[in-house]
Amino acid sequence: MKLLLWVTKLIMFTSILIIMISTLLSKKSIDDKEKISPFECGFNPKNNYRNPFSIQFFLVALIFLIFDVEITLLLPLILTANSSNLMVWFGLVTYFILILILGLLHEWKFGALDWLN
């Protein structure tokens, strides 16, 4: 038990010593603002953060994401067509696609798909 405690203390001491030496020897430069600034693809972080953002683009991207996930949920149904009861499978697929079409019509009716607003 004493040996385990001694080895644990040795490991802790060695770890702290290595961390302190690496911190002292590292070549950090506080003056290098480019390296410590956040990188955002396509955006310059030095400009004004209150630039106008297209809500329509965001809505269309969100709708695409939702429909993409729903299509991904539809793909396994194709593989289960041979091993399922065909009437139950057809009813399930029809119901799922009907929900997708009704959602698309709802979004179209309320103008979520219009680019020019």
Cβ proximity of 13 and 5 under 8 Å: no
pLDDT at 41: 61
Instruction: Please tell me the distance from the alpha carbon of residue 62 to that of residue 52, in angstroms, as a whole number.
Output: 18
pLDDT at 67: 83
pLDDT at 7: 94
Question: Hey, what are 11's tokens?
Answer: 């490991």
Which residue stretches of the chain have pLDDT < 50?
none
pLDDT at 102: 92
pLDDT at 15: 96
pLDDT at 111: 80
Instruction: Please tell me the distance from the alpha carbon of residue 11 to that of residue 98, in angstroms, as a whole number.
Output: 63
Instruction: Please tell me the distance from the alpha carbon of residue 113 to that of residue 117, in angstroms, as a whole number.
Output: 10
**pTM, two decimal places:** 0.48
Mean pLDDT value across the chain:
80
Instruction: Please tell me the distance from the alpha carbon of residue 44 to that of residue 38, in angstroms, as a whole number.
Output: 9
